[in-house]
Amino acid sequence: MTQHLTVPARPFPFELDPTRTAVIVVDMQNDFGSPGGMFERAGVDISSIQAIVPNVAAVLSAARGARIPVVYLKMAFKPDLSDAGFPSAPNWLRHAHFHAGDEVTAPKGQPSRILIRDTWNTDIVDELAPRDSDPIVYKSRFSGFYETELDELLKASGIERLIVVGATTSVCVDSTVRDAMFRDYHCLVVEDAIAEPIALEAPRSNHEASLLTFELLFAQLAPTADVIAALGATAPVPA
């Protein structure tokens, strides 16, 4: 039996059938959200990303309770950097600034590498660790759809609607949401479960600017509390 749920969203309500909906978790990995990761090593303030972890966790818990699948995206290059555009492509040059590929020591002492697959740096933060059944999609560009299996994976499961959480708002979340819309997916962005450290203190932050374009053109917006209430969750929303 088809179940229809409604999230009160902007600019209009987001209607969903749990059997045709998936949650996309964008890049909630140590390189962006943990001490010792790429951002923190580069002097980027990761507090805004850390702050959304409880809300992301609440959305994931509610989604799983409603039997909505959860798909994780990871920004991570192959060890030989062959998918990064090394040594001269714009994609590589943007990441070389952050010392992508460098060998580092993870907080617990194990060897690791910045933005490289299957290392501590690209592991999902502990509080949001995937379950064994959750698909993980590696991406080498900002969008989760660029030369990945994401579109095929979603279409094979009959997914038409996406609930999007993660980081960072104006880069990988934005790129993924735009590409999803271009592929005719309906997107609900959980506005307090995404974060952007860039220009956080500007008169209009990158985060706010992206929320505006989402609402105007690319997606619908709703806060965590309304999403988990619509999904039938009973747990309180984190402050």
Residue 236 lies in a domain: no
Task: Look up the CATH number of the domain holding residue 185.
Answer: 3.40.50.850
pLDDT of residue 239: 54
Residue 76 lies in a domain: yes
pLDDT of residue 198: 83
Q: pTM of the full predicted structure?
A: 0.95
Residue 208 lies in a domain: yes
> CA angle 98-99-103, nearest 5°?
140
Residue 63 lies in a domain: yes
Residues 143 and 141: their CA atoms lie apart, in Å, by: 6
Residue 235 lies in a domain: no
Please return the burial class of 36, using the count of CB atoms within 10 Å of its CB with bins 0-12, 13-18 and 19+.
middle
Please state whether beta strands 111-113 and 103-105 pair in parallel, antiparallel, or not at all (unpaired).
Answer: antiparallel
Residue 83 lies in a domain: yes
pLDDT of residue 235: 46
pLDDT of residue 204: 74
Catalytic machinery residues: 27, 139, 172
pLDDT tens by residue, the chain, 239 residues: 567 899 999 999 999 999 999 999 999 999 999 999 999 999 999 999 999 999 999 999 999 999 999 999 999 999 999 999 999 999 999 999 999 999 999 999 999 999 999 999 999 999 999 999 999 999 999 999 999 999 999 999 999 999 999 999 999 999 999 999 999 999 999 999 999 998 777 777 889 999 999 999 999 999 999 999 999 854 455 55
Q: Write the CB contacts of 133 (distance below 8 Å, at least 6 apart in sequence).
A: none
Residue 237 lies in a domain: no
Question: Which residues sit opposite 139 in a β-bridge?
Answer: 75
pLDDT of residue 221: 98
Question: Which residues sit opposite 208 in a β-bridge?
Answer: none
pLDDT of residue 205: 85
Please state whether beta strands 21-26 and 136-139 pair in parallel, antiparallel, or not at all (unpaired).
Answer: unpaired
- Domain extent at residue 32: 5-230
Write down the residue that tokens 């309304």 correspond to: 226
Q: How many domains, in total, are found in the chain? A: 1
